[in-house]
A and B are shown apart, each in its own frame.
Chain A
Amino acid sequence: MKILIIEDEQVLAESIKSYFKANDVLCEIAHTIEQSLDKIGIYEYDCILLDLMLPDGNGFDILSELKKQGKTEGVIIISAKETLETRIEGFNLGADDYLTKPFHLSELLVRIQALVRRKNFKGNNSIEFNELEIDVLAKSVSVKGKKIDVTKKEIDLLLYLIGNKNRVLSKSAIAEHLSGDMADMLDNHDFVYAHIKNLKKKLSEAGCDDYIKTVYGLGYKWQND
């Protein structure tokens, strides 16, 4: 997967790039509108991350340009500014998702994956990991071809863990991901433990290997030993 990061904060762009590298996402970075338009004109990307406040103008200009050129790349706006108007304008100009800074890199990664899955959708939309198969559309999980009973939240958690495989995920990042819009209302991250425990139990009962590792003091990690 290849994505373009349009972000004038170089340090942030670099850390996104290095985090994604291990999860098979190749990143190119542009810091200005000019650089971005050059790159978009030459290469094809699976997804574009777009900051709105750029030194040579507004990120919305890039959205308009993409529309004009008939490009179909998925666009995720990553902006510090979030008002109802910018959100609506972004979606109207063809953005697919909107993520307000600050965010967890893991969250950004699964959003990109979900977006690319939607864009490349050809009849089936499933993710496989060894004996495990998740049907994103049907919201079902099967182990070795046998369906298991999981909740919507557990599928969400599973997608998040697998999407960030080999990455240590902090409890707060998982909690915020699972809470969605309510993330700002989180008081306590302890409920993550309960969800992880339930998921682990259901998977192992179905004969799935234990891929969810506890990283002491930090969080959890999906890992294939």
Chain B
Amino acid sequence: MTKKLLHKTLRAYLIFSVIVLLISAPLFYFMIEKLYIEDADEALFLRKNEFIKYTVPNVKEADIPIWNKMNRDIKIEPTTPSVSALKDTVFYRHFYDTLYQENEPYRILNAPVTIDGQPYTFSARINLVETDDLIQSITGLFAFILLFLLVGLYFITKRLSIHLWKPFYKTLDTIEQFEIDKAIVTNFSKTDIEEFERLNQAISKLIQKNTAIYNSQREFIENAAHELQTPLAVFQAHIDMLMQHADVTQGQSDILTNLNTAISRLNKLNKNLLLLSKIERNQYVSRENVSINTIFDKQSTFFIEQAEAKNIVVSIELQEEVTLKCNPILAEILISNLFLNAIQHNIYNGYIQIKLSKQSLTFSNTGIKHPLSKKQLFQRFSKINSSSQGNGLGLSIIKKIVDTNGWAINYQYLNDVHHFEIRF
């Protein structure tokens, strides 16, 4: 499955940002906590130093209970084996807060002090922010950053894709519209992005080159076909003359008949090649309202007569009056080629069924007992069976006309019958 360039880059950005945030959030938490604890410890030591420096010289032993009463967070306790502090120790402890009815974390410093020559323990504490609260606020902050980043990235990439990639999409549109057999001038708009400008130049060079080659080939086919007409005329005239000789033997007359058949085929082939290149050169562009029913009226007698030679039954069902906006000559050629195709590739005692409605025209005919290769069907000179008289151009002419008019042709093989359906 293909995705838009925007989505691909956006996805990469998103994944990267999520990873970065996921890694950085805990790191951030530990860093903050470490700094915070260090700061708390520093404050505790500062209090201790201040106490030793300013308070200890003025305090009497008797003042201690009052001190303890007055100070909530600094206590002086007699050193007992349970609260022994031979050196400064820092630790955590939770105290129950009766006011808020929850455990509050505290950082506590116990340090030995000497008051009036007696050993005492100095104990200072600082209320800490609850870990839960810290994690919560960090998560919240990071979630906000993440959201902000994603929305920002999405809009920036979108904007970039629209603005930066605009010339690229324009080029893409132009290439998509390009068809070598149609005289559409491809114009790439100028862009100030070097890479796109290079792309445009490379593609227009490619198109120019290919169009030139295509045109010269088409011209070659047309010229060759035209140039063949005169020698063919000479050839035909001489065969006509040769036939007039009274002393033609049976063997010679067989040769003449074969020559006649060959020249007739050559002639048709040439005409069809010319027709194809004329359609390609947009010689039949004028459009008018064409009644398909009228074309059938005009052509059916001829083709039914042709079909009779193979004992083929033709049934034509013109369900409604159909008028299409198209070139009248091409419409006639289309229907006569469909008729011819259905007769040529039919079997003796077969049948042809034609149905016309406002939506579609279907030719169904009996023929060889296996489906035709859809891939080769409409290619020039792709002969389905070598013995057939066709020149392998009929179906490509049909396809070309169908394409020129923006219709669609569909081939199906159902129950030993070949169906060609043209949808208008």
Contact, CB under 8 Å: A102 / B253: no
Q: State the total of A-B contacts with C-beta under 8 angstroms.
A: 117
B232 & A102 in contact (Cβ 8 Å cutoff): yes
Contact A80 B226 (CB under 8 A): yes
Which of A16, A104, A187, A216 makes the CB contact (< 8 A) with B253?
A216
Q: Contact check, A190 vs B253: say whether CB atoms are below 8 A apart.
A: no
- Answer yes or no: A185 CB below 8 A from chain B CBs: yes
Instruction: Return B248 CB to nearest CB of chain A, in Å.
Output: 7
How does the 8 Å CB contact mask read for B180-221 relative to A, with 1 for contact and 0 for none? 000000000000000000000000000000000000000000
Q: Which residue of A lies closest to B241 (CB)?
A: A15
Scoring B240, B254, B278, B329 by chain A CB atoms within 10 A of each residue's CB, the highest score goes to B240
- Which of B230, B260, B340 contacts A101 (CB under 8 A)? B230
Cβ-based interface call for B139 (8 A): no
B288 located at the interface, meaning its Cβ lies under 8 Å from any Cβ of chain A in the complex? no
Number of interface residues, chain B, beta carbon within 8 A: 50
CB distance from B249 to the nearest CB of A (A): 10
**B234–A11 touching, CB < 8 Å:** yes
The secondary-structure label for the interface of chain A is: mixed
List residues of B (283-304) whose CB comes within 8 Å of A's CBs. Answer: 283-284, 299, 302-303
Distance in Å from the Cβ of B294 to the closest Cβ of chain A? 15
Chain A residue numbers with a CB within 8 Å of B230 are 9, 12, 80, 101
Residues of B within 8 A of A (CB): 226-227, 229-230, 232-241, 243-244, 248, 250, 253-254, 256-257, 260-261, 263-264, 267-268, 271-272, 274, 278, 283-284, 299, 302-303, 305-306, 308-310, 329, 336-337, 339-340, 343-344, 389
Question: A residues touching B (Cβ–Cβ < 8 Å)?
Answer: 9, 11-12, 15-16, 18-19, 22, 78, 80-84, 100-106, 167-168, 170, 172-173, 176, 179, 182, 184-188, 190-191, 215-219
Q: Which 5 A-B pairs have the closest CB atoms?
A: A80-B229, A217-B253, A102-B233, A101-B233, A102-B232
Q: Provide 15 A-B residue pairs closer than 8 Å at the C-beta atoms, listed in order of the A residue.
A: A9-B233, A12-B237, A15-B241, A16-B237, A78-B233, A80-B226, A100-B229, A102-B232, A105-B241, A170-B256, A172-B261, A187-B340, A187-B389, A190-B309, A217-B253
